[in-house]
Amino acid sequence: MLPLLLKPRYYAFRNRWTRSVRTPNVLIRDITALALSLLLMGATYNGTYKTLHSLSEQTHLIYVPPSTPLAILFFALASILVFSGVVSALGSLFYSEDVEFLQSTPIPRHSLFSGKLLDSLLSSSWLIVIFSLPILLAFGTYYHAGWSFYCSGVILGTCLTITTASLAFACAIFCSSLLSAYRLRDLVLVLFLFALGGSYLYLRFHTGEIHSLSTSRDILQITSMSRFPTAEWLPSSWLANSLALSLNPHNASAAPFWGALLSLTLASISVAYLSFAFLYSRAFSRLQHSRRPAFAATHKRRLPWLTRRVIHPTFRALFGKEWKLFVRDVTQAVQLVLLLALCLVYLYNFQLFNEIDSVELTSRPWFERFLILSNILLGGFVVLAVCARFVFPSISLEGKSLWILLSSPLSLHDVLRLKFISWYCFISVMSLVIFCSGGLAIQLPPTEVVILGVFGLFLSASLCSLAVGFGAAFAEFDWENPSQITASLGNFLYIVSAGGVLLIQLVPIGLFLLLDTLATLEPLNRGPGVGFTFIITTILIAYINVVATRWGLQFGSRNLARLLPGS
């Protein structure tokens, strides 16, 4: 039976696909989102299959049983589920708009518990579960598994998901009874950042000398790193060992792993219910009596005194509004952390290509220029992804409060311009760090690192302006979930347009690097032409970004005026 609290969400989901009016924009958006999801799932399946094939080719060096990659995979997924489960439980239990209303209704405690737990479970795990299916399918296809493998994977995978969600649910309630939920949310994000940094440093120091899987030393070093994720006391290892036994049947039985995982699932649900029954009221009361508003009010009095001589009051007010909206949204904070993790993975993988000394002397200049172009391209797409997720929805997220901005003595173009400046302050810093870190990772000279940083500042301006412009032109104020905005047709068109602006700038950069490489190979023919080409390239890139920045704001203000009533 469906819990009472989940029925409105179920009916809204059902009506969206059965009774809603299918406009062309909505239809194109759904088809585009479905196509991209299938493409990502296919890429996940293909990558997993090729990884298993690469491991099987190294059996003459060391044998890696199927349980090892499965244990590492499930350990990583369980870690992500625990973190997202804590954040989702905090949002469902303390930040949801219906919390105060539900406290005053005669809903039984078990109904409230089951509804909140399932809401947290679905919110934190649906995406990971969907994209785990092609990985499970790749393992089954490669090892020619039978139906028992897939059935065991679905049942035990569901148990592991429920276990992580229940433990995260109980952890959120227990910690909130000791700390304010506001402080707990910040603490969870900080701890996750430290975990990412620690993981990066661990991989950096343990894989700094690994460049291939062709030697037994590299294989043994990678295998030694997987000892902790494959520990026998971890529930993820129980799931991995059970599936491995169904892949390669032995005399051993998988019944102990089934019993242990099912027992842990029931125990975690019991712990979550006891935490909810005895500690939730105390945690909710602590949240209501939190001193965070007084803390914010103190800073509100101090901030104008410190900044009124430097920052214009209008920009200060809009910047403060954008900052408060951003930090209050838990989902945006979580996705920002995940994007930062993507940046760490990008920098780590990019550093593996910095072995310039191993390249032949005649090919070394070409390889260096290839690394520079790759850094620009990959770094640009990372900045584009950040703008697509955070900057593009900023207009639509205003919702019904947009009329407050429109009633101010500011034109629509001024509102978009100030919103662009507010977001550019954040995007430019992130872009500067990404491009400069990439340049340092490939061991570029300091002068070239500075040039990359300046290019990142120019590029972030055009990408941020286009995100504001397309977000205003394709604004949707009737959204039910913020994720609908990022999956819209307008966001897809923005990604295509911004990607085109990035690729256009690679043409003059590539021509300059080509000329510079030829001059490096023949120093006697090096003349003032290289310096002149650099100046022309810089002017051309600056012109492209300035034009794109201005056009984005004009495009957004012109089309948003048509969408607003009475315009």
Both tokens of residue 533? 């080409």
d(CA 212, CA 219) in angstroms, rounded, equals 9
Q: Are 149 and 55 in contact (CB under 8 A)?
A: no
Give the residue-averaged pLDDT of 497-504. 91
Q: Which 3 state secondary structure label does DSSP give 143?
A: coil
Q: Are 208 and 107 in contact (CB under 8 A)?
A: no
d(CA 248, CA 54) in angstroms, rounded, equals 19
Confidence band (pLDDT; 50, 70, 90) for 214? very low
d(CA 206, CA 437) in angstroms, rounded, equals 20
Q: Which 3 state secondary structure label does DSSP give 298?
A: helix
- 349-402 per-position pLDDT tens digit: 555 555 555 555 566 677 778 888 888 888 888 889 888 888 888 888 777 677
Q: Are 366 and 517 in contact (CB under 8 A)?
A: yes
Please tell me the predicted confidence (pLDDT) of residue 271: 95
d(CA 315, CA 318) in angstroms, rounded, equals 5
d(CA 435, CA 450) in angstroms, rounded, equals 9
Please tell me the predicted confidence (pLDDT) of residue 255: 87
d(CA 118, CA 273) in angstroms, rounded, equals 12
Please tell me the predicted confidence (pLDDT) of residue 332: 62
Q: 192-201, 272-281, 432-441, 551-560 — which is least confidently predicted?
A: 192-201
- 218 φ, ψ (degrees, to nearest 5): -65, -40
In sequence order, what are the residues at sequence separation of 6 or more whose Cβ sits closer than 8 angstroms to the Cβ of residue 337?
189, 192, 193, 196
Q: Nearest CA to 466 among 396, 377, 391, 541?
A: 391
d(CA 479, CA 397) in angstroms, rounded, equals 9
Higher pLDDT pick, 505 / 175:
505
Q: Does residue 296 surpass a pLDDT of 50?
A: no
State which amino acid sits at residue 263.
S
Confidence band (pLDDT; 50, 70, 90) for 539? very high
Tokens 């593009």 correspond to 392
Q: Nearest CA to 149 among 139, 159, 158?
A: 139
Give the residue-averaged pLDDT of 405-415. 78
Tokens 């409060």 correspond to 401
Average pLDDT, the chain: 77
Q: What is the CB neighbour count within 10 angstroms for residue 323?
A: 13
Q: Are 545 and 461 in contact (CB under 8 A)?
A: yes
Q: Which 3 state secondary structure label does DSSP give 471?
A: helix
If you write DSSP's letter for every residue of 192-219 in order, what string do you get? HHHHHHHHHHHHHHHSTT---SSSHHHH
Q: Are 551 and 526 in contact (CB under 8 A)?
A: no
Give the residue-averaged pLDDT of 59-80. 78
Confidence band (pLDDT; 50, 70, 90) for 40? confident
Q: Does residue 193 surpass a pLDDT of 60?
A: yes
What's the full length of the chain, in residues?
567
Q: Are 94 and 177 in contact (CB under 8 A)?
A: no
Q: Nearest CA to 464 among 441, 435, 430?
A: 430
State which amino acid sits at residue 186.
D
Strands (E), 291-384: none
Q: Are 265 and 162 in contact (CB under 8 A)?
A: yes
- 246 φ, ψ (degrees, to nearest 5): -75, -20
Give the residue-averaged pLDDT of 323-331. 64
Highest mean pLDDT among 83-92, 130-139, 242-251: 130-139
| 144 φ/ψ sector (left φ>0, alpha ψ -120 to 50, else beta) | left
Tokens 């509004």 correspond to 321
